[in-house]
């Protein structure tokens, strides 16, 4: 049976997360519903990156098996059924054994802060009206790039077998209306990006210093990290796959 990757974007404000949950509004649940209506059969998708409640995405993926012909030509019809806060941006035929989660080679996230009250960013950025030192926060990024064990930045009760992540990009930048933290890695742990943001903001506010930040990493103790950065500032920007996963259209 043909397999397809479905690319989606969404504003996560009014969703209870990405993965399907009983009696809750989720990204996967809404897509399953729309596909089932369109194809007139029960459709169950498989997820890629399971973003938390309130987190947004410019790009995320699911995969689905269906013998419906030319599913890639039906994005318009699916979007006519989907709610206004999510959209299918592409449908791609893939190898029959391709997996939207396990074949991903890397993911990139961006976290948005706004330093000034802005009603147009209230659902998509963390209002943080404090003085912060971005230069020292970028020194934290250098520390992050030099390490691989991020046990201290993972929430408890997670089902992973190890806490090693190979971060290949991490950078804070000042923009006209926002401050952003962008990070790319082969994998991320549960709550990891928000914990990194919250802890680095403590460094940026001079609440802790760079050496203390290093100690938090080396401690492998999540009770020492700051998980207070709110979900609404976080965007999944991009999911990377090998080109060999996709079939020619």
Active site residues: 52
**Nearest CA among 149, 134, 154, 150 for reference residue 205:** 134
- Helix 192-204 to helix 134-145 angle, to the nearest 10 degrees? 140
Place of tokens 């989907």: 82
Distance (Å, whole) CA 111 – CA 196: 10
Is residue 165 within 8 Å of 148, Cβ to Cβ? yes
By CB atoms closer than 10 A (0-12, 13-18, 19+), residue 19 is: middle
Cα angle 55, 61, 65; round to 5: 140
Cα distances (angstroms) measured from residue 27 to each of 13, 51, 144? 11, 9, 31
**Nearest CA among 81, 24, 83 for reference residue 52:** 24
Q: In sequence order, what DSSP letters do the residues of 180-227 get, joined into one string?
A: EEEEEES---TTHHHHHHHHHHHHHTTSS-HHHHHHHHHHT-GGGS--
């Amino acid at each position: 049976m043909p397999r397809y990757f479905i690319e989606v974007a969404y504003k996560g404000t009014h969703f209870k997360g990405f993965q399907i949950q009983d009696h809750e509004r989720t990204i996967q649940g809404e897509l399953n519903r729309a596909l089932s209506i369109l194809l007139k059969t029960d459709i169950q998708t498989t997820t890629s990156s399971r973003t938390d409640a309130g987190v947004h995405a410019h790009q995320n993926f699911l995969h689905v098996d269906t013998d419906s012909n030319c599913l890639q030509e039906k994005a318009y019809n699916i979007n006519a059924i989907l709610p206004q806060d999510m959209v299918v941006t592409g449908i791609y035929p893939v190898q029959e054994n391709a997996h939207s989660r396990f074949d991903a080679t890397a993911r990139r996230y961006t976290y948005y802060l706004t330093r000034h009250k802005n009603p147009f960013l209230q659902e998509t950025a963390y209002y943080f009206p404090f003085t912060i030192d971005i230069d020292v926060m970028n020194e934290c990024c250098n520390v992050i790039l030099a390490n691989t064990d991020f046990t201290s930045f993972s929430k408890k009760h997670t089902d992973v077998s190890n806490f090693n992540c190979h971060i290949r990009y991490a950078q804070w930048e000042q923009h006209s209306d926002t401050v952003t933290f962008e990070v790319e890695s082969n994998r991320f742990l549960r709550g990891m990006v928000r914990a990194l943001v919250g802890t680095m903001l403590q460094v940026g506010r001079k609440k802790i210093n760079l050496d203390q930040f290093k100690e938090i990493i080396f401690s492998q103790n999540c009770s020492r990290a700051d998980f207070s950065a709110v979900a609404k500032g976080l965007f999944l920007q991009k999911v990377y796959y090998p080109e060999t996963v996709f079939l020619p259209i």
